[in-house]
Structure 1
Amino acid sequence: MATKPGVLTDWPWTPLGSFKYIVVAPWAVHSTYKFVTDDLEKMDLGYTLIFPFLLLRILHNQVWISLSRYYTAKGKRRILDKGIDFTQVDRETNWDDQILFNGVLFYVGFSLLPEAKQLPLWRTDGVLMTTLLHAGPVEFLYYWLHKALHHHFLYSRYHSHHHSSIVTEPITSVIHPFAEHIAYFMLFAIPLLTALLTNTASIASLAGYIIYIDFMNNMGHCNFELVPKRLFHLFPPLKFLCYTPS
């Protein structure tokens, strides 16, 4: 918990405990049913792939967790030479809540937005637009959002929960109160919605953007360096493409 928990700290499904996945179960069943029964010509591939995509994100994060704990246990390449305490492990067990939250929003968006129907697998203009929007306005706004979250008012009510983890793990990156995740999703939705509303979106641009964010978040919160430092000397622009735990 943050030092002074603010409004919308808890996730809406927190009282459900381990049964929280029931919130996406109706959509998952419906999309699976349509996949089995619809003709290939009529199938909405984007809607059908949401559930497998959520499972892929969970697997992606779990691989990072296992890799990070391996290096932590091995004791080599660690940045902060300390172990992970059980309090932190317990606090971070709900790392999948943000995937569940995104899943609900994806299902609602694909159900309500006509532009999200029958998306192609790839569109170059949409991929370029998503990339430029992230590198431009999203990164700029994220900087100021993050700076605001470190102001004592918001820090004590929200962001201090994230910084309670001293020895960071990959999924420490998503350990935030619910209200903070709402702000993050609104920000990262800018490229997604722009591509959709301009009819340039594709499954590759939407899924690739989310996977990219997951990858960078996981890599940036490991307690070890994945990218060798010499690569930054050999290719200086790399520092503009990724950030590191150090």
Structure 2
Amino acid sequence: MASKPGILTDWPWKPLGSFKWVILAPWVAHSSYCFLRKDEKERDLGYFLVFPYMMVRMLHDQVWITLSRHRTSKGKTRILDKGIEFDQVDRESNWDDQILFNGLLFYIGLMLVPEASHLPIWKTDGVIITILLHAGPVEFLYYWLHRALHHHFLYSRYHSHHHSSIVTEPITSVIHPFAEHIAYFVLFAIPLYTTIITRTASIASFAGYLAYIDFMNNMGHCNFEFIPNSLFSIFPLLKYLMYTPS
């Protein structure tokens, strides 16, 4: 919890506890029914894949958690030579909330934005637009959002919750109050919504963008060095494309 919790700190489904994923049940049931019962031309593969891809993201995160704890227990290439406290494990146990939140917003978006339905599997122009928008305006805005979150007013009410974890784990990257995740989603939705309204979106651009964000977040917060330092000497421009735990 932040030192001075602000509004929208708790996730709205917190009272549901371990049963929080039940809120997606209507969409999961409807998307499965439509995919199985409609003919091939009417099936919306993107709508059907929302929930399975959420499960893939959870598996991806769990692999990083397991790898990070294994490397931490071995003590090799650890960045911070300190054990993980039980309070941190408890505080970070809701790391799947942000995946649930994304899934819920994707389902709502499919209902409200007709252009988001029946996406093709691949569109090259949409993939390029997503990459350019992330590398340009999204990263620029993210930098200033992050700076703002370290201002004492927002830091004490929101971002200090994230920095309560001294020995970071991969999923420390997504341990934020609900309000902070709303800001992040609005920011990272820029490439997604742009490709939707320009009709260049595809299942691959959506899934690939989320996979990239998850991978960089997990790698950047694990407590061991994943990328050899020599690689940055060989490819100096690499430092502009990624960051490391160190």
Same fold (TM over 0.5): yes
Give SS of 1:176's match.
coil
1:18 corresponds to which residue? 18
The one-letter amino acid of 2:188's match is F
Amino acid at match of 2:82: K
1:94 aligns with 2:94: yes
Q: What is the distance in 2 between the residues matched to 1:204 and 1:17? A: 32
The CA RMSD measured in Å over matched residues stands at 0.6
Letter in 2 for 1:3: S
Instruction: Return the TM-score normalized by structure 1.
Output: 0.99
CA distance in 1, matches of 2:172, 2:80: 15
Pairwise CA distance, 1:210: 0.7
Displacement of 1:39 in angstroms is 1.5
Partner of 2:35: 35
| Counterpart position of 1:169 | 169
Where structure 2 has 5 or more consecutive residues not aligned to the other structure, the ranges are none
Partner of 2:17, secondary structure, is helix
- The C-alpha deviation readout for 1:8-59, integer Å capped at 9, x for no partner, is 0000000110110111111111111222212222111110110111000000
In structure 2, the residue matched to 1:121 is 121
Correspondence for 2:138:
138
* Cα separation, 1, equivalents of 2:238 and 2:25: 41
Distance of 1:29 and 1:243 partners within structure 2: 39
Match of 1:56? Answer: 56
Q: Note the 1:73-92 alignment, pairs <5 A.
A: 73-92=73-92
Q: Distance in 1 between matches of 2:165 and 2:50?
A: 31
For residues 179-219 of structure 1, the C-alpha deviation after alignment (integer angstroms, 9 at most, x for no partner) is: 00000000000000000000000001111001100000000
Count residues in correspondence: 246
Give per-residue Cα distances to partners, 1:114-141, cap 9 Å, x unaligned.
Answer: 1111111111110000000000000000
TM-score, length of structure 2 as denominator length = 0.99
Give deviations 1:68-91, integer Å, cap 9, x for gaps: 000011111100000101000000
- Secondary structure of 1:24's partner? helix
In structure 1, C-alpha distance between the alignment counterparts of 2:64 and 2:38, rounded to whole Å: 36
Please tell me the residue identity of whatever aligns with 2:237: P
Cα distance in 2 for partners of 1:74, 1:147 equals 35
Runs of 4+ in 1 over 3 A off after TM superposition: none
The farther-off stretch of 58-67 and 110-119 is: 110-119
Identical counterparts, % of pairs: 74
What is aligned with 1:234?
234
Secondary structure in 2 matching 1:227: coil
Distance 1:40 1:73 in 2: 50
> Is there any run of 5+ residues in structure 1 with no aligned partner, and where?
none
